[in-house]
């Protein structure tokens, strides 16, 4: 089939896959479409972790009158079909069982339990396999998944709000609203899309944050707090519900993670999150914690909100290094700038 058609149908796979954002981790987001002579007869995506994968939902969506066409159709899938038994059976085996003769794959899965094994199953069954269609876009979609498995750490997103003069708090350090109500909702959407959210001690003490996504829908992220001596008061929100405290202290009432503060702390936290299969973390502050991530080179994205609240002096915002501006938007007067780490 013409490469233009390949890209068209792979774009549809990507559109579908994105619908699983915030629901499928630690699995990747995947979309699939079944095409017969240029017509989509079935489509699906991975909707929720532990449930049917994209290929299964795609095949199951085919109308009864089109079922005889499955075996003579081409299936497009944004990520290599899985080859191992997890919470669901291997999708590569499903494709073979359906008699599908051609599979077009966006990118190869580098997860060790798949990593070419799905393609091998398909080829051994005599199925024609083509790969690398919109490969960059397909990998980008699952940057969290690939970073976790290839770099053995979570995907890290830094976020902060600052005044037009570049300060994140006034001189007295007291909390002040910088972003507007629309941007607040967007931030809560971001929270719903990540597995965890992290703050340092100063932010926890100053803001008494909830760190949930009450202004959006979906599951709340796991809350992570760096608190060396557990000085955060017990009546604060972070002591209620699911929170991991990274500390030197021990507590009988709450799960704590022991960290050696005489050694670099962030690598220890990243190793622990990897062991817990936490694939992404949204770092929301404060300035010192954010700058530590930047200085250590431990970040992948940064999202900086510049509001209209004016204070010409105060606590300076963090300073990004090796950053590429990838997008800039305006939301009712708030300027939101998106960066990626370049090296």
> Is 55 labeled as catalytic in the residue annotation?
yes
53 is in an annotated binding site: yes
Q: Is the pLDDT of residue 274 over 80?
A: yes
Q: What is the pTM of this model?
A: 0.90
Coil, helix or strand at residue 102: strand
Is 207 annotated in a binding site? The answer is yes
* Residue 330 known to bind ligand: no
pLDDT at 251: 86
| Residue 284 annotated as binding site | yes
Name which of 140, 275, 283 is nearest 221 in CA terms. 283
By three-state DSSP, how is residue 165 classified? coil
| CATH number of 152-341, picked from 3.40.430.10, 3.40.50.10680, 3.10.180.10, 3.40.605.10 | 3.40.430.10
Q: Mention the CATH class of domain 3-146.
A: alpha beta
Q: Considering 43, 55, 80, 193, which one is annotated as catalytic?
A: 55
Is 211 annotated among the ligand-binding residues? yes
Residue 301: its pLDDT value, please? 98
What is the reported pLDDT for 112? 64
Domain boundaries, the chain: 3-146, 152-341
Q: Cite the beta strand spans of the chain per DSSP E.
A: 31-36, 39-45, 74-79, 102-107, 128-130, 155-162, 167-169, 196-200, 222-226, 243-247, 256-258, 280-285, 301-306, 315-316, 323-331, 334-341
Q: What is the pLDDT of residues 61-110, one digit of tens each?
A: 999 999 999 999 999 999 999 987 777 789 999 999 999 999 999 999 98
| Residue 91 assigned to a binding site | yes
């Amino acid at each position: 089939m013409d490469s233009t058609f390949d890209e068209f149908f792979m774009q549809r796979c990507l559109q579908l896959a994105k619908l699983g954002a915030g629901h499928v981790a630690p699995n990747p987001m995947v979309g699939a479409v079944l095409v017969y002579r240029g017509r989509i007869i079935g489509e699906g995506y991975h909707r929720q972790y532990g449930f049917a994968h994209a290929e299964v939902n795609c095949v199951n969506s085919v109308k009864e009158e089109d079922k005889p066409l499955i075996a003579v159709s081409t299936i497009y899938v944004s990520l290599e079909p899985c080859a191992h038994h997890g919470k669901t059976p291997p999708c590569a085996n499903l494709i073979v069982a359906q008699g599908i003769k051609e599979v077009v794959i966006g990118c190869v899965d580098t997860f060790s339990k798949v990593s070419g094994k799905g393609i091998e199953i398909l080829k051994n069954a005599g199925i024609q396999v083509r790969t690398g269609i919109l490969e960059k876009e397909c990998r980008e979609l699952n940057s969290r998944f690939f970073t976790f498995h290839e770099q053995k750490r979570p995907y890290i997103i830094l976020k902060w709000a600052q005044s037009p003069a570049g300060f994140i708090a006034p001189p007295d350090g007291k909390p002040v609203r910088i972003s507007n109500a629309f941007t607040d909702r967007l931030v809560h959407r971001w929270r719903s899309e990540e597995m965890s959210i992290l703050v340092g001690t100063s932010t926890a003490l100053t803001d008494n944050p909830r760190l949930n996504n009450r202004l959006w829908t979906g599951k709340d992220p796991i809350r992570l707090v760096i608190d060396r001596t557990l000085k955060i008061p017990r009546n604060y929100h972070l002591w209620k519900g699911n929170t991991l405290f990274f500390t030197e202290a021990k507590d009988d009432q709450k799960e704590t993670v022991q960290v050696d503060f005489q050694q670099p702390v962030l690598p220890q936290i990243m190793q622990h999150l990897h062991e817990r299969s936490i694939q992404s973390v949204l770092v929301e502050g404060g300035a010192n914690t954010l700058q530590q991530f930047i200085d250590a080179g431990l970040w992948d994205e940064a999202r900086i909100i510049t509001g209209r609240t004016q204070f010409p002096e105060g606590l300076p915002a963090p300073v990004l290094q090796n950053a590429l501006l990838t997008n800039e938007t305006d939301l009712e007067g708030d300027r939101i700038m998106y960066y990626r780490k370049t090296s």
